[in-house]
């Protein structure tokens, strides 16, 4: 069996014609222009182009544009009204919240005062006589110190005045050592170690105090002693952190 010979590779010879594609493109372009001119001439021969449809479209587009402009103006106005209304509502809501907070604070203050007076006029058996009722501290940013208010009360028998002295000491740390500083040494409003008092129901002791920079206060100790035939003593210690956080 004889082997079949593979056909030899065939080559096609194409003549190279420089500029052929360019000339073909120019010819097609010329035919296109000629066809357009011919159509335009035919249109003129038939009475000219009808531009009525273009004008109608333009008028219709102008009308739609005007309608869209009107809708846009309305939508913009509605958005402005809504934003104004929302701002007013938010302002009213914020004002209402502030009023509620103010009222709640006032109610709490009135309840505290009511409890205060009730305890004075109708005390329990275990809370009669001279009492260290409360002590408050409020930061004074202008003077870089604290405003303090100490309240002493006489609970139960309020027919007679009670008098005596109260000593206030601030206990803390300085240079890793415990130190006790009298209120007189921290406040320009207090002149004596023992602050004198005389009252029937209650008495406030108020002023400002400044803590040294190298002193770390921990507690405030209050000791009140009455004078007269019935000597009584009331003592209470307040945590500095609790006083300054409230």
CB 103 within 8 A of CB 126: no
Instruction: Find the mean pLDDT for residues 175-198.
Output: 91
Per-residue pLDDT, 1: 45
CB 140 within 8 A of CB 147: yes
Percentage with pLDDT > 90 across the chain: 27
The pLDDT tens digits of the residues spanning 86-115 come to 777 777 767 777 877 887 777 777 777 777
> Nearest-CA neighbor of 163 among 192, 135, 130?
130
Percentage with pLDDT > 70 across the chain: 68
Non-local CB neighbours of 136 within 8 Å, separated by 6+ positions: 148, 149, 243, 246
The CATH architecture of the domain made up of 124-245 is Sandwich (2.60)
Ordered DSSP codes for the chain: -PPPPPPPPP-------TTHHHHHHHHHHHHHHHHHHHHHHHHHHTT----HHHHHHHHHHHHHHHHHHHHHHHHHHHHHHHHHHHHHHHHHHHHHHHHHHHHHHHHHHHHHHHHHHHHHHS--TTS-EEEEEEEEEEEETTTTEEEEEEEEEEES--SS-EEEEEEEEEEEEETTEEEEEEGGGT-TT--SSEEEEEESSEEEEEEEE---TT-EEEEEEEEEEE-SSS--EEEEEEEHHHHHH-
Distance from C-alpha of 202 to C-alpha of 133, rounded to nearest angstrom: 9
For residue 132, what are the CA distances in angstroms to 109, 149, 175? 19, 12, 31
Instruction: Find the mean pLDDT for residues 34-53.
Output: 50
The pLDDT tens digits of the residues spanning 158-167 come to 778 889 999 9
Per-residue pLDDT, 51: 44
Res. 126 pLDDT band, cuts 50 70 90: low
Res. 48 pLDDT band, cuts 50 70 90: very low
pLDDT over 50 (residue 216):
yes
Instruction: Find the mean pLDDT for residues 167-177.
Output: 93
Per-residue pLDDT, 49: 42
CB 232 within 8 A of CB 131: no
Average pLDDT, whole number, for the chain? 75
Burial (0-12, 13-18, 19+ Cβ within 10 Å), 230: exposed
The pLDDT tens digits of the residues spanning 134-161 come to 899 998 877 788 999 999 988 877 778 8
Instruction: Find the mean pLDDT for residues 163-191.
Output: 92
Distance from C-alpha of 3 to C-alpha of 9, rounded to nearest angstrom: 18
Query: Which of 56-65, 68-77, 107-116, 181-190 bottoms out in mean pLDDT, i.e. has the lowest?
Result: 56-65
Res. 239 pLDDT band, cuts 50 70 90: very high
Instruction: Find the mean pLDDT for residues 183-189.
Output: 91
Distance from C-alpha of 85 to C-alpha of 65, rounded to nearest angstrom: 30
Query: Which of 11-15, 38-42, 129-133 bottoms out in mean pLDDT, i.e. has the lowest?
Result: 11-15
What are the residue boundaries of the structural domains of the chain, listed by start?
Answer: 124-245
């Amino acid at each position: 069996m004889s082997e079949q010979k593979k056909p030899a590779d065939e080559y096609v010879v194409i003549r190279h014609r420089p500029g052929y594609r360019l000339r073909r493109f120019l010819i097609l372009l010329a035919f296109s222009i000629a066809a357009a001119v011919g159509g335009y001439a035919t249109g003129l021969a038939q009475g000219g182009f009808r531009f009525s449809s273009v004008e109608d479209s333009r008028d219709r587009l102008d009308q739609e544009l005007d309608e869209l402009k009107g809708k846009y103006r309305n939508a913009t106005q509605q958005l402005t009204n809504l934003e104004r209304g929302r701002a007013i509502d938010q302002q009213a809501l914020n004002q209402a919240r502030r009023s509620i907070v103010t009222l709640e604070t006032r109610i709490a203050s009135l309840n505290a005062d009511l409890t205060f007076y009730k305890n004075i006029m109708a005390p329990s058996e275990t809370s009669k006589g001279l009492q260290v009722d409360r002590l408050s501290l409020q930061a004074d940013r202008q003077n870089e110190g604290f405003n303090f208010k100490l309240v002493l009360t006489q609970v139960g028998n309020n027919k007679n005045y009670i008098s005596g002295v109260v000593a206030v000491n601030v206990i803390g740390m300085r240079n890793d050592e415990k130190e006790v500083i009298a209120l007189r040494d921290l406040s320009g409003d207090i002149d004596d170690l023992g602050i004198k008092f005389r009252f029937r129901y209650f008495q406030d002791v108020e002023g400002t105090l400044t803590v040294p920079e190298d002193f770390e206060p921990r507690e405030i100790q209050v000791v009140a002693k009455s004078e007269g035939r019935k000597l009584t003593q009331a003592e209470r210690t307040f945590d500095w952190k609790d006083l300054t956080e409230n």
